[in-house]
């Protein structure tokens, strides 16, 4: 990418929950934009979205849409990314794609800037943004891995409905209202009621009994960390929370680390806030982390069942660090590395 003072930037999938967050994040971080263009499906054409006090009309994608665009942030689903990301790349545009389409492609870097920004050097026009639950986990795992080499991770996630999109958020609100008013509960987005419930089911089930979401966490973590020797098992759970994913992590390392050593390591690591004083009821909560950029870590304690084990609780805003912010940070890193 050529070094410039400002960049023609696009958001594809601009009217979705993550697309909206991308626009807001670009504005909040004063991203060096020459012109912002917004794209979505045909039914959204002509809708106007606000950016820096101006109203920008939403366009429909065409073969020549990406001419003159420097950077495009995609959050329009895997099928559209499969079609349109290569079109954008051929036009000379660098794509940061938030879908699952390119994540495990060996020709495409899968990047969390705090962890493996060096992988941006070998991109071929498309860069993959990892899964939301993976991003917040590897931000925490990497500094621990550097200090003590991680052997094994057991993770259980507690993921908010915004990870499914706006329709899921609407369904949780509607079901909650209906329950409190003694009305019939209708399920459209999820196979079961989500209000006042917990679903141990995110994405499709695979032949091995795990879901696609669980295997994404396994495979993406190894690719991002650049270490296939890390053993990882995941259980992903949907909870009736609107925003922020929480995760319970159990980490086994080769070298022993005390909880205080882990706190010190994480306190000095980018993108992390250690929020850990349980005796004062201080630990990360979704209601407090919503809208924040950092991954919050608490409940750091020794796993007394194994020799070198640490337990912790981490929370991050899945629409921010888990999607929009990470994509914008990738774009910022690309600009920083441009010559």
Beta bridge partners of 199: 238
Which among 86, 123, 94, 89 is positioned nearest to 2, based on CA atoms?
Answer: 94
The SS3 of residue 188 is: coil
Contacts of 41 (CB under 8 A, 6+ apart): 15, 60, 76
* Strand 54-60 versus strand 309-316 pairing type: unpaired
Pair of tokens at residue 173: 């609100």
Q: Are 107 and 87 in contact (CB under 8 A)?
A: no
Which among 111, 145, 103, 130 is positioned nearest to 249, based on CA atoms?
Answer: 145
Pair of tokens at residue 317: 């805003």
Which among 306, 217, 308 is positioned nearest to 254, based on CA atoms?
Answer: 308
Q: Which residues are the active-site residues?
A: 132, 245
Q: Distance (Å, rounded) from C-alpha 253 to C-alpha 51?
A: 46
Q: What is the DSSP letter of 103?
A: T
Which letter, b or e, does each residue of 43-56 get, where b requires 16 or more Cβ atoms within 10 Å of its Cβ? ebeeeebebeeeeb
Residue 324 φ/ψ, nearest 5 degrees: -60, -50
Q: Distance (Å, rounded) from C-alpha 33 to C-alpha 27?
A: 9
Q: Distance (Å, rounded) from C-alpha 44 to C-alpha 50?
A: 14
- Identify the helix (H) or strand (E) that includes residue 314: strand 309-316
Pair of tokens at residue 197: 């419930």
Which among 105, 143, 161, 174 is positioned nearest to 266, based on CA atoms?
Answer: 143
């Amino acid at each position: 990418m050529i070094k410039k003072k400002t960049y023609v930037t696009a958001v594809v999938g601009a009217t979705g929950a993550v697309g909206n967050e991308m626009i807001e994040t670009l504005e909040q971080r004063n991203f060096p934009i020459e012109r912002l263009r917004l794209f979505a499906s045909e039914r959204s054409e002509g809708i106007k979205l606000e950016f820096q006090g101006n109203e920008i009309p939403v366009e429909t994608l065409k073969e020549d849409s990406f001419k003159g665009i420097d950077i495009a942030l995609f959050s329009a689903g895997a099928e559209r990314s499969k079609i349109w990301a290569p079109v954008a790349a051929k036009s000379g545009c660098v794509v940061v794609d938030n879908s699952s389409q390119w994540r495990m492609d060996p020709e495409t870097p899968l990047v969390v800037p705090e962890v493996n920004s060096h992988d941006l050097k070998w991109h071929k026009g498309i860069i993959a943004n990892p899964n939301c639950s993976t991003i917040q986990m590897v931000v925490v795992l990497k500094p621990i891995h550097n200090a003590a080499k991680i052997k094994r991770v057991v993770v259980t996630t507690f993921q908010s409905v915004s990870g499914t999109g706006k329709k899921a958020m609407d369904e949780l609100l509607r079901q909650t209202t209906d329950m409190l008013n003694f009305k019939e509960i209708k399920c459209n987005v999820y196979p079961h009621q989500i209000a006042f419930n917990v679903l141990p089911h995110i994405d499709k089930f695979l032949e091995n009994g795990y879901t696609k979401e669980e295997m994404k966490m396994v495979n993406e973590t190894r690719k991002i960390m650049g270490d296939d020797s890390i053993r990882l098992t995941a259980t992903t759970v949907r909870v009736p929370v609107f925003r922020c994913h929480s995760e319970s992590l159990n980490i086994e390392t080769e070298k022993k680390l005390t909880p205080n050593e882990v706190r010190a390591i994480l306190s000095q690591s980018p993108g992390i806030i250690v929020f850990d004083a349980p005796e004062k009821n201080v630990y990360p909560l979704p209601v407090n982390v919503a809208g924040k950029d950092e991954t919050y870590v608490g409940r750091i304690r020794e796993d007394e069942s194994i020799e070198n084990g640490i337990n912790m609780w981490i929370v991050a805003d899945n629409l921010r660090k888990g999607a929009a912010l990470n994509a914008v940070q990738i774009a910022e890193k690309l600009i920083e590395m441009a010559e």
